[in-house]
A and B are shown apart, each in its own frame.
Chain A
């Protein structure tokens, strides 16, 4: 920098990169470019749990107040969906093979898959949709995808209530297995949390990803046993392919919920073990994957 004109004070000379780093070190100033160690990051996220809850309830309120009917849609929507899928897959193109209570079977597929679809669609945009917040305040960015996952839990509860009504009305007996439903939903939520973290980073890297997610969800809807029993069709495949189709993290939660609520679906503990595995591995991996870009969220 050259000397200023008359009257203008000399600008202090710039420190070299090494001098700046040394000065920062002497006074204990952390560099903003880095990310905190992963352990600290997990800790700070835990420390923000109350903030996460505040954000999540705020989101719920904001969404429900934008529609005139508000909360009513969370009940109407699954009903309409179940009805239209029943029209197509129950009456027009029957795929009822291998099921006895097809309506309840379908309702579970629709509601549980819908939960996954909306969590991932919304969650993947949790950073880019809150860019104002990201650019105004510093907080562990994983707060946003985690809050969105929670928001989705709250949003799906009325649909679960609808589901229970459908199950009862279609004549399923009350069994102790129903007590496993919260366990299955908790595992599913953990799995979704992991997926949302992964998707949120990908969308932050390239917004074009938001165009691929609906396509991926559409494909997954057809291979995850939403309206037919994978088991009934698995026999046509190579046994390995059949197993993969059944154990993949989109199909598994649907299968587990069916085992909770439908008499025709016997409990398969091996699948519950697999679900638990996903519920541990996916959130851990997702958080790690998300954390890798911690310093990059909010980039212009």
Chain B
């Protein structure tokens, strides 16, 4: 849904007063990865002797090498109410990690995050409970977002209608296609108008019609003075929905500014010629 008529520099913020919604200060995220295969599924549940034995043997095989992945390095920015912020960068540049940390779902290794209100994070991998029906997931997600059971009940039809998955809502989520699951997650996350909505590549799976509707929903949420963060591989989605873009590269924030200017530079960058990053930045 490329919009050729979008003026350069993105939209103007509909909110006149600049109230910060998220303040990220010198954020570092370091994942600690324990090397080797871990036996954590079969260990428990039955408490018969063999399983302990199996685990003890299994443990002998794993060499506990602890590696660390510095996924986000010294990132600072301030996002405001009513702003819609795109996060771009190559695979593994730390976009998802940054988003999770800003949502308060991943504790910072260093630095600090301040956030106004409750965030909702919508990721491709944000499984709620895949063994359960969409219906139950709507109740779980809605209530976790702060709705009462009655409110979820009241909005149930609307959520299902928005997701467009129809009767599949009564089937386990494990039977959904990734597009269906993404649509349902989006519908759940936006049912409550979160203070900060974070979307991690969740829109790209839907069809054109759903992308249009979700774009409208994002606008609606921004108008209610919430803040939207969006990670997307589709530059046109970012162009369409965001007025500001953060460019992540190897865990660093290398550019932060109006959508059009940043995206132009991003699209003009040839990673093959300049693998270390675009010339002149970072």
Contact = CB atoms under 8 A, between A and B. Distances in A.
A132 interface: yes
A169 interface: no
B124 to A, nearest CB: 11
A5 B281 contact: yes
B87 to A, nearest CB: 14
A5 B278 contact: yes
Nearest to B109: A299
Interface stretch (B126-134, B161-169, B230-238): B126-134
B86 interface: no
A217 B47 contact: yes
A66 interface: yes
A218 interface: yes
Nearest to B49: A218
A121 B103 CA distance: 30
Interface in B236-282: 253-258, 261-262, 264-265, 278-282
Contacts of B128: 132-133, 136
The dominant DSSP class at the B interface is mixed
20 contacts: A5-B278, A5-B279, A7-B261, A8-B261, A11-B256, A14-B25, A14-B77, A24-B20, A33-B108, A51-B144, A54-B143, A58-B132, A133-B140, A134-B105, A135-B100, A136-B141, A137-B121, A211-B43, A211-B52, A300-B106
B262 A27 contact: no
Interface in A26-53: 27-33, 48, 50-51
B264 A7 contact: yes
Contacts of A23: 20, 23, 78
B112 A31 contact: yes
A132 B185 CA distance: 13
B105 A133 contact: no
Nearest to B185: A136
Interface of A: 1-12, 14-15, 17, 20-21, 23-24, 27-33, 48, 50-51, 54-55, 58, 61-62, 65-66, 117, 121-122, 124-125, 128, 130, 132-139, 207, 210-211, 213-215, 217-218, 295-296, 298-300
Interface in B21-80: 21-23, 25-26, 31-32, 38-40, 43-45, 47, 49, 51-52, 55-56, 59, 74, 76-78
B140 A298 contact: no
Contacts of A17: 25-26, 111-112
A299 B116 contact: no
Nearest to A294: B107
A27 B20 contact: yes
A138 B20 CA distance: 20
Nearest to A122: B45
A292 B145 CA distance: 23
A9 B258 contact: yes
B23 A121 contact: no
B118 interface: yes
A135 B121 CA distance: 8
B120 interface: yes
Given A11-B253, A11-B256, A58-B140, A214 B44 contact: yes
B132 A54 contact: no
Contacts of B91: none
A207 B47 contact: no
Contacts of A11: 253-257
A117 B46 CA distance: 10
Contacts of A207: 38, 40
Interface in B80-121: 100, 103-108, 111-116, 118-121
Nearest to B52: A214
B280 A4 contact: yes
B19 A135 contact: no
B132 A62 contact: yes
A32 B105 CA distance: 9
A211 B104 CA distance: 29
B23 A295 contact: no
Contacts of B49: 218
Contact of A15 (B25, B40, B104, B256): B25
A41 B149 CA distance: 21
Contacts of A137: 120-121, 141, 144-145
A24 B114 contact: yes
Nearest to A11: B256
A12 B77 CA distance: 8
Given A5-B280, A137-B141, A137-B145, A27 B19 contact: yes
B266 to A, nearest CB: 9
B105 A20 contact: no
Contact of B59 (A28, A128, A211, A215): A211
Q: What are the 7 tightest A-B residue pairs by CB atom distance, in nearest-first order?
A: A5-B280, A14-B76, A20-B25, A9-B257, A24-B114, A32-B104, A136-B126
B125 interface: yes
A28 to B, nearest CB: 8
Contact of A51 (B19, B44, B143): B143
Contacts of B38: 207
Contact of B282 (A2, A7, A124, A125): A2
B54 to A, nearest CB: 10
